[in-house]
Amino acid sequence: MSVNFDYQRPERLGMPEAVLCEGKSFQHIQDILSELSERNDYPVLFTRLEQSQFEQLPESLRQRLDYDELSRTAVLNGQLPKRWGKVAVVTAGTSDLSVATEAVRTLTFSGVETSLVADVGVAGIWRLMERVKDIAEHDLIIVVAGMDAALASVMGGLVGKCVIGVPTSVGYGVAADGTTALNSMLASCGQGIVVTNIDNGFGGACAALRILSMADSVFYREDG
Amino acid sequence: MSVNFDYQRPERLGMPEAVLCEGKSFQHIQDILSELSERNDYPVLFTRLEQSQFEQLPESLRQRLDYDELSRTAVLNGQLPKRWGKVAVVTAGTSDLSVATEAVRTLTFSGVETSLVADVGVAGIWRLMERVKDIAEHDLIIVVAGMDAALASVMGGLVGKCVIGVPTSVGYGVAADGTTALNSMLASCGQGIVVTNIDNGFGGACAALRILSMADSVFYREDG
Amino acid sequence: MSVNFDYQRPERLGMPEAVLCEGKSFQHIQDILSELSERNDYPVLFTRLEQSQFEQLPESLRQRLDYDELSRTAVLNGQLPKRWGKVAVVTAGTSDLSVATEAVRTLTFSGVETSLVADVGVAGIWRLMERVKDIAEHDLIIVVAGMDAALASVMGGLVGKCVIGVPTSVGYGVAADGTTALNSMLASCGQGIVVTNIDNGFGGACAALRILSMADSVFYREDG
Amino acid sequence: MSVNFDYQRPERLGMPEAVLCEGKSFQHIQDILSELSERNDYPVLFTRLEQSQFEQLPESLRQRLDYDELSRTAVLNGQLPKRWGKVAVVTAGTSDLSVATEAVRTLTFSGVETSLVADVGVAGIWRLMERVKDIAEHDLIIVVAGMDAALASVMGGLVGKCVIGVPTSVGYGVAADGTTALNSMLASCGQGIVVTNIDNGFGGACAALRILSMADSVFYREDG
Amino acid sequence: MSVNFDYQRPERLGMPEAVLCEGKSFQHIQDILSELSERNDYPVLFTRLEQSQFEQLPESLRQRLDYDELSRTAVLNGQLPKRWGKVAVVTAGTSDLSVATEAVRTLTFSGVETSLVADVGVAGIWRLMERVKDIAEHDLIIVVAGMDAALASVMGGLVGKCVIGVPTSVGYGVAADGTTALNSMLASCGQGIVVTNIDNGFGGACAALRILSMADSVFYREDG
Amino acid sequence: MSVNFDYQRPERLGMPEAVLCEGKSFQHIQDILSELSERNDYPVLFTRLEQSQFEQLPESLRQRLDYDELSRTAVLNGQLPKRWGKVAVVTAGTSDLSVATEAVRTLTFSGVETSLVADVGVAGIWRLMERVKDIAEHDLIIVVAGMDAALASVMGGLVGKCVIGVPTSVGYGVAADGTTALNSMLASCGQGIVVTNIDNGFGGACAALRILSMADSVFYREDG
Amino acid sequence: MSVNFDYQRPERLGMPEAVLCEGKSFQHIQDILSELSERNDYPVLFTRLEQSQFEQLPESLRQRLDYDELSRTAVLNGQLPKRWGKVAVVTAGTSDLSVATEAVRTLTFSGVETSLVADVGVAGIWRLMERVKDIAEHDLIIVVAGMDAALASVMGGLVGKCVIGVPTSVGYGVAADGTTALNSMLASCGQGIVVTNIDNGFGGACAALRILSMADSVFYREDG
Amino acid sequence: MSVNFDYQRPERLGMPEAVLCEGKSFQHIQDILSELSERNDYPVLFTRLEQSQFEQLPESLRQRLDYDELSRTAVLNGQLPKRWGKVAVVTAGTSDLSVATEAVRTLTFSGVETSLVADVGVAGIWRLMERVKDIAEHDLIIVVAGMDAALASVMGGLVGKCVIGVPTSVGYGVAADGTTALNSMLASCGQGIVVTNIDNGFGGACAALRILSMADSVFYREDG
């Protein structure tokens, strides 16, 4: 299968170039990697690239990639220039770290300064209270949580900044597929929380990029 | 339809005698009321008795009943003797008050001292923090909450006492029927929270009665 | 029932003071209105106030309210000071106007300049294409759509600005309750689209306010 | 298990003879293949034949089959005579190619001229716009799409030809099982789009065959 | 609200101009009717216009409309020119007649010859067998059925023509909302059956119009 | 784990002794087999015993068992005495044979004469019509069908005998887990069809045994 | 609408002639009644005829009908001849009586001796234990229960006769629509319980008629 | 990843220290074990530790752990001091033993005297009746049951003590994921039964610990 990339898209929308590996055959992934690895000036992020797939790649390609096992992401051709804005990615539990790290890696790749605040779920609310002041100093907060996802509601009540909820499929029984976390965030008693698909750390990061790009308008109009 | 009551059941299980009016015809409710109103010594609680039904009853029956519109409950023949234990019924929002009051009225009818702590949902966590010490002095806590029901998880992390979650059908969209509140409580990151059916304030109160009856064992064995 | 308002909350979070009337008794709504109408300097938004409820209010209260039937919103004590930012609220069909107008009214009340772009659903994609340039000049786009909600995905591919999807319960059969529109937006092939609960025009507007408040950080840090 | 074929069915209904291998034991598939391979004049299509199953077949059978890994289809005894009509099979993303190719292979096997137009999902609407004129020149369009399946609605608004939607199980979270794509197509704002079961590329092709057979009536009545 | 019609659309897509009244306010419907009634040469179909709404219209508008209570449809400004093709609309039970008649009225309005074959559900298979030959002489068959919707599968096995299934919300318990009928048709053991949304008689008719328009290609290419 | 059998139960209820192996550990299954194999006069049926489990058993136990791979059933200590009644087990497709054979083996083990009529699904209704007279001569009919399960409805309209529907998990997409087949049978337009859990061939056979035992009452009362 | 009855059907299948009024227009019901009331020798049962509909009928028709409000059934032209067999209809609670009475009335109309055993739900298992011996003397047991429907499982373990479960929509929250009762019966730990659609008392009775007709075979073959 | 334990939490809430291994990487589990094994005085319970994971641990760690395969639990550093109260854990079938043993092991680890009463499901109600008196002598009853979970309702009607229902995912078809057992317990006709998430034996035990801690209040207040 020939690869047919639209090299202008990142510029047009301001989104990073990203390849979702899930649902693609190994051959297809390898073809894409081969083509893109020939363009040193075109940074690309690969998401949901399983470790077993990474390890099957030829040594030459593997060496070109900055691969992270926890988030299943790989970066090719370096990262994008630094952009305005600071983002906090906050998780309820350690099992949410895989999704949270996908968000952190996407933002860092895109040039955004990002902090990871792990394990501040509401079952031990004091852990969150100790960190709230730090978190509130960021421009935007991504809350990554599974099960009851109560952290999103509490965060929305503590901080007036934009809160993006990323529900995770952590848990079992009624929680297992992340639907409860998703619905809990959507039905949150906290005003103005917005939500992405389950386990979509990449999507949460892209939403942050769209929002942070608003700063350009501010500068522009201030200048004007 | 003749009425066929099992007058020994309350004694056998220690549960209050209660008649669920929902799903029964008005004629049937009136027949039950007529028979029971002839036994002054047999206190009975009627639940889910709509105001419109109450108002259709003959004046003589209405005067015998202590009716509460918010909880749709009516008490006949006075309340049961005082029992050991103090219960806090805690609500997230004002829309949860109907279900919460059903629980309060059931417990008060059953002789249990009960406090209502309203409107301490986690979107404004400071409201809860101000009340936590008071709440923790009760023997058992019933949390009544709809939408994301995050209050149950937070409470379970703040207090080591028994926490019974009663999800409510408050909200709309993904929340409307209470399923999200129910699943959120069941999947709670707080350890050992137990849950009843949606809007089942009466059931939450009955669970409390079962639990408080444990005190009798304590006394008994201490005596022995 | 006494009314217990937290008059500092709007300042703390930067959200408008709002009262959700759905799920509250008429008496309760009237009590809240009476108390708040005594404070001329405290603007409040009432959402989901049915026209039949509005018409039952005493003449003196009705005259104090700016009521809109389509969005079921009422404004008391004037609107908030003008804030930075321009928002476009875009709808797929005319049946989405009720929810869209709730968003428009919430933003206007909060001091944000807001445009309504109605009836540009993708079944007639040329209608959207004619308006894209205008829409893209706003700082943030709220897409209000029911049924297949395909407008959110198309918009996300045309514009790099923040896109908030508000699914509506418009439609019947598999669409009727808005779940398909919600899931379609969440599973969107457009990167970085964020979503609110079904029919939650108010929530979409609050999310916009959280995001636009980011501009303050920009100014502040530029100054610093 | 003996094989009991109804060799007259294809002629009666005008549908191709096809064997769904999913849910059948390997032994059963092999028995069917053995019997049918003895009839050179009876073309048969095998669907959902896994590569691992194909590779376990005896060399003699494998050589008789035209097997395609991507679509998991195999053709035995050549293809059917050419029929009137041209079909476009259009996909939103590369992950939809497996299902789309099942449709293409079924149509080609059945004698229908078929074009595959891949990767024109609405997140980059310009890709679709460049191809619309070509697509519209076909007699019938099969849209294969997962996740939000917005392509079906957009296509239905651009072209007046018959549009058959085949939802796919591509995606994760709320999208993963294809239900969102299915419901989105069924609730489409585009008028008169019809839909098949999830991942049913074969079914979409069969529907096309039923529809194209209408041309015979046209000729017949024109002649008459 | 001003009315903003796209008078070129019917010609562009070959679909009839239709206004879905469900979900629109009465005022909005009346505005649309007023504008369109001034254009004698522009035939329009109104669907899901409740009888109570029709009766509230001014006498002058009512007289202009050909209203049918069973299907809740109204025709303004006469019907469209006759088109090629004959359609059979077949129902399982008498309760499916409302949806079936919406399909029949839409097709008749659009100039297509249409037969209604009612009450041939499979619980009495002989009723269907007596009519199969007649039904098979049509160019396209719309099967309208609720509950188990088994009629669609049986029809698909008896006739090689295009079969469009329109599931209905007839029934109660597990059937009530039409989901079982919908899924049963989608999972049908009959090859190549296509399906619309629940109760969407209008959509089934529009699909038929798209398909019948294929005849134009046949003529055109035969001529060419 | 010691084995604690209730050897009187089969006699009390007239049901065969059966052990469901699914959900039990291999060690537990082996313990039960060892104990029961010591009682030659106590026939037992093992259901859902996977072939891989069977093959791990010691040779001595394997030789005692009559194992059938398709139905995953094993019989120990011979079959039960012959009982009154003849049952037809009818399947829609070949993929339903596994479940159907579980029913046939359970009935045969229980002493009931049973016929298997395979592959008479309604997509080719003539196959069923040829067999109806034979089927109707049985005392009871078990219909085993997946996907749309239309066979149950058609059978119920053709035959006045008891029809027990056993839905199967055959199919994919909306059909895959058997829920559509289950609901379709429950919502059947055929009067008086009764249904078991999905894939529960054993349960369908047990229901037949309960029903056939009615014959004993007939004899008894005739005698009396 | 003309009425087109198949007067031979009852004889063919041995089922009673029954008209389901739900989903039919009042005019249609009245037409059917008028035609059938002219045939004195043709007994018919009307199900789900609302009291408000019954009361709108002309006096002459009302006098011909034996109407029962609780079960919403009406009998025209007397009942069918007495048939072999005795059925027990057993209910868990008083709210199940409406559905249970539909079953009782259908069976009595069909000439079968039927006993109603009400209010023996398992929350007070002693009530059931007192009646088990009586119940077991019937040839067939119909268990009508909502909420957890545990009565069906307990009954199946106590009695070896055929047990038909009819789940009801009694209850609220997770129980309200009867799905929990339905699934609980289908997943019952009692072997060989069969189930009908929710609230389908008529269907349960028809299943009983199919089963009791088996007695004819017994007599016939004994005679032979 | 460094381990960051809150060693004061057990004391604060009175809950045992427990580590849920499900959803954590093997490396993470091993890190936690290493750190905690250095503190001899800090007893910890590990839940959902798969046998295959346990066996991969270094010999030195394995020897420190008291591992149980059935419940997938491991205890490190001995158990907690004895506490007041006796708990009965009651199961419906042998397949529920895995979940039940998780509850028993958690309670025993926490110093609570616990009895396991297995295999008393209601399909053979006499098995339960023989044990009821013993069970009722405990202070609290945990009912572990899958499929229809009818045991919880029956138990709630027989005993006035606190009944905690733990639904299990035992069963197949409509039962398989435990949702039917969960809903059946929540909708139970037994008053005051409370419920945990599916398969959550640990959660049931924690709820018991919260409840039994109430005894401390009794002693304290009696003393006071």
String of DSSP letters for B161-172: SEEEEEE---SS
Domain that residue C202 falls in: 86-215
DSSP state of C95: G
CB-CB neighbors (< 8 A) of G189 in chain H: 92-93, 121-123, 147-148, 150
CB neighbours of residue E96 within 10 Å: 31
- Residues H218, B219: contact at Cβ < 8 Å? yes
Nearest chain B residue (CA) to G169: B23
Is C9 in Cβ contact with B95 (below 8 Å)?
Answer: no
Provide, as residue numbers in chain B, all residues whose Cβ is less than 8 Å from the Cβ of C179.
Answer: 174
pLDDT in tens, H175-217: 989 999 999 999 998 899 999 999 999 999 999 999 999 988 7
CA distance H73 to H95: 17
Residue G195 three-state SS: strand
- Final residue in a domain of this structure, among E20, E42, E76: E76
DSSP notation for chain F: ------TTHHHHH-PPPEEE-TTS-HHHHHHHHHHHTT-TT--EEEES--HHHHHHS-HHHHHHEEEETTTTEEEES--PPP-S-EEEEEESSGGGHHHHHHHHHHHHHTT-EEEEE----GGGHHHHHHHHHHHHTSSEEEEEE-TT-HHHHHHHHH--SEEEEEE---SSGGGTTSHHHHHHHHT-SSTT-EE-STT-HHHHHHHHHHHHTHHHHHHHHHH-
User: Which of G51, G70, G91, G95 is the mutation pick for testing B, counting most B CBs within 10 A?
Assistant: G95
Q: Is G78 on the interface with B (CB under 8 A)?
A: no
- The domain that holds A138 is classified in CATH as 3.40.50.1970
Amino acid at G102: E
Is G123's CB within 8 Å of H148's CB?
A: no
Partners of G178 on chain E (C-beta within 8 Å) are 173
Kindly indicate the confidence band of residue E15, based on its pLDDT and cuts at 50, 70 and 90: confident
Amino acid H124: pLDDT: 86
| 3-state SS assignment for residue H142 | strand
CA distance E25 to E36: 17
User: Does G49 fall in a domain?
Assistant: yes
| Whether the predicted pLDDT of E224 surpasses 50 | no
From C84, C72, C135, C90, select the one nearest C111 (Cα to Cα).
C84
Percent of chain C with pLDDT over 90: 76
pLDDT of residue H14: 79
Phi, psi (rounded to 5 degrees) for G120: -115, 35
Q: Which two tokens stand for residue G132?
A: 């088990």
Same domain? B153 vs B186: yes
**Are C40 and C116 contained in the same domain?**
no
**Alpha-carbon torsion, ordered E189, E192, E197, E202, to 10 deg:** -130
Question: E106 and E64 in one domain?
Answer: no
Cβ-defined contact of A178 to D175 (cutoff 8 Å)? no
Inform me whether the C-beta atom of residue F9 falls under 8 Å from chain H C-beta atoms: yes
Q: What is the reported pLDDT for H224?
A: 42
Mean pLDDT of chain E: 91
pLDDT of residue B16: 84
Give me the count of residues in chain H: 224
Q: Which two tokens stand for residue D68?
A: 């395609």
Please check whether residue C104 lies inside any domain of the structure. Answer: yes
Given H47, H76, H105, the domain boundary residue is H76
Classify residue G223: in a domain, yes or no.
no
Tokens of E177: 């909302």
Clarify whether residues G96 and G205 are in a common domain.
yes
In which band, very low, low, confident or very high, does the pLDDT at B1 lie, cut at 50, 70 and 90?
very low
How much is the pLDDT for B110?
96
Neighbours of H55 (CB within 10 A): 9
The pLDDT tens digits for B75-121 are: 999 999 999 999 999 999 989 999 999 999 999 999 999 999 999 99
Q: At what angle do helices D125-136 and D150-158 cross, to 10 degrees?
A: 50
pLDDT in tens, G136-194: 999 999 999 999 999 999 999 999 999 999 999 999 999 989 999 999 999 998 899 99
Assess whether C19 and C105 both reside in one domain.
no
Inter-chain contacts counted by CB atoms under 8 A, chains A and C: 117
F174 closest CB neighbour out of D6, D28, D197: D197
Contact F183 E185 (CB under 8 A): no
Mean pLDDT of all residues in H60-64 = 94
Which of A159, A193, A217 shows the shortest C-beta gap to C139?
A: A217
Q: Which helix (H) or strand (E) holds G105?
A: helix G97-109
With CB atoms and an 8 Å threshold, state whether H186 touches B163.
no
pLDDT digit string (tens) for chain A, length 224 residues: 455 566 777 777 778 889 999 988 899 899 999 999 888 889 999 999 999 999 999 999 999 999 999 999 999 999 999 999 999 999 999 899 999 999 999 999 999 999 999 999 998 888 899 999 999 999 999 999 999 999 999 999 999 999 999 999 999 999 989 999 999 999 998 899 999 999 999 999 999 999 999 988 776 665 44
Q: Are strands F73-76 and F65-68 parallel, antiparallel or unpaired?
A: antiparallel
Q: What is the pLDDT of residue H215?
A: 84
Alpha-carbon span E5 to E2, nearest angstrom: 10
Nearest chain B Cα distance for residue C130, angstroms: 32
Is residue C33 included in any domain, yes or no? yes
- Tally of domains within chain D: 2
Do H45 and H22 belong to one domain?
yes
- Token match 């028994």: residue? B162
Q: Which residues of A touch C191 (CB under 8 A)?
A: 13, 15, 18, 202-203, 206
Please report whether residue E33 resides in a domain. yes
**Would you state the pLDDT for residue D1?**
44
G174 touches chain B (CB under 8 A): yes
The interface residues of chain E toward chain D in range 183-202, judged by CB-CB distance below 8 A, are 186-187, 191-197, 202
Concatenating the DSSP letter of every residue in C115-145 gives EEE----GGGHHHHHHHHHHHHTSSEEEEEE
User: Same domain for D97 and D164?
Assistant: yes
Strand E86-91 to E65-68 pairing:
unpaired
- Helix, strand, coil percentages for chain D (3-state, nearest 5): 45, 20, 35
Contacts of G156 in chain H (CB under 8 A): 123
pLDDT of residue B43: 94
Q: Which of G:87-116 have CB within 8 Å of E?
A: none
Q: Is A162 part of a structural domain of the chain?
A: yes
pLDDT tens figures, E68-108: 999 999 999 999 999 999 999 999 998 999 999 999 999 99
Does residue A222 belong to any structural domain of this protein?
Answer: no
**Structure tokens of B4?**
């066929």
pLDDT at res. F217: 75
**Interface contact A162-C211, CB threshold 8 A:** yes
Q: Name residues whose C-beta falls within 8 Å of residue C37's C-beta, 6 or more positions apart in sequence.
A: C61, C64, C76, C77
Same domain, G112 and G92: yes
Task: Looking at the structure, tell me whether residues C199 and C93 fall in a common domain.
Answer: yes
Mean pLDDT of chain G: 91
Q: Are residues G121 and G202 in the same domain?
A: yes
Digit-coded pLDDT (tens) for B124-180: 898 899 999 999 999 999 999 999 999 999 999 999 999 999 999 999 999 989 999
Encode G105-122: b = buried (16+ Cβ within 10 Å), e = exposed. bbbbbbbbebebbbbbbb
The pLDDT value given to residue C217? 75
Residue G208 in contact with residue G113, Cβ under 8 Å? no
Up-side HSE of residue D71: CA atoms within 13 Å toward CB? Answer: 24
**Closest by Cα among D101, D183, D119 to D147:** D183
Residue H25 confidence (pLDDT): 86
Do residue E169 and residue C174 have CB atoms under 8 angstroms apart? no
> Do residue H182 and residue A173 have CB atoms under 8 angstroms apart?
yes
Give the pLDDT confidence score for residue A41 in this predicted structure: 86
Number of other CB atoms surrounding residue A68 within 10 Å: 17
**pLDDT under 50 in chain F at which residues?**
1, 223-224
Euclidean distance between CA atoms C119 and D96, whole angstroms: 30
Nearest CB to B6 within list G124, G174, G175: G124
F39-F40-F42 Cα angle (round to 5): 70
Interface test with H, best of B214, B220, B221, B223 (most H CBs within 10 A): B214
Whether E contacts A, i.e. 3 or more CB pairs less than 8 A apart, is: no
**Closest chain B C-alpha to G172 CA, distance in angstroms:** 8
What is the mean pLDDT of the segment spanning D96-114?
A: 97
- Record the tokens describing residue E135, joined without a space: 């039904």
- Domain closes at, from B46, B76, B106: B76
User: Does the beta carbon of H51 lie under 8 angstroms from any beta carbon of chain F?
Assistant: no
What's the pLDDT score for residue E1?
44
CB contact under 8 A, C191 and D149: no
Average pLDDT over residues E201-205: 98
Question: G130 at the H interface (CB within 8 A)?
Answer: no
User: If you ran DSSP here, which 8-state letter would residue G174 be given?
Assistant: G
CB of H149 closer than 8 Å to CB of H142: no
C31, C132: one domain: no
Dihedral over Cα of E104, E106, E109, E112: its sign: negative
Give the pLDDT band of residue B6 (cuts 50, 70, 90): low
CA-wise closest residue to B14 among G94, H143, H156: H156
User: What residues of chain F lie within 8 A of the CB of E93, using their CB?
Assistant: 189
Which residues between 144 and 163 in chain G have a beta carbon less than 8 angstroms from any beta carbon of chain H? 147-150, 152-154, 156-158
Chains that touch B (3 or more CB pairs under 8 A): A, C, G, H
Closest alpha carbon to C73 in C130, C18, C10: C18
Residues of chain D contacting residue C191, judged by C-beta atoms under 8 Å apart: 123
Confidence of residue E12 (pLDDT cuts 50, 70, 90): confident
- E62, two tokens: 């009512």
Query: Is residue G224 assigned to a domain?
Result: no
Per the CB < 8 Å rule, is H122 touching G173?
A: no
As a whole-number percent, the residues of chain D with pLDDT over 90 amount to: 76
Cβ-count burial of C46 within 10 angstroms (0-12 exposed, 13-18 middle, 19+ buried)?
buried
pTM: 0.95
Residue H179: which residues within 8 A CB-CB, separation 6 or more?
A174, G183, H198
Q: Which contiguous run of DSSP H or E holds residue E90? A: strand E86-91
Residue A15 gets which letter from DSSP? P
A73 within 8 A of A22, measured Cβ to Cβ: no
Residue C223 pLDDT more than 50?
Answer: no
Helices (H), chain B: 9-13, 26-37, 51-56, 59-64, 97-109, 125-136, 150-158, 179-186, 201-212, 214-223
Q: Do residue C111 and residue C159 come from a single domain?
A: yes
Q: What are phi and psi of H145, to 5 degrees?
A: -155, 145
pLDDT in tens, G75-133: 999 999 999 999 999 999 989 999 999 999 999 999 999 999 999 999 888 889 999 99
Which of the four pLDDT bands, split at 50, 70 and 90, describes residue E164? very high
Q: How far apart are CA F182 and CA F188, in angstroms?
A: 10
Residue contact A194–C207, C-beta within 8 A: yes
Contacts of H174 in chain F (CB under 8 A): 179, 182, 197-198
The pair of three-digit structure tokens given for residue C120, joined into one six-digit string: 């540009």
φ/ψ of residue A154, rounded to 5: -65, -45
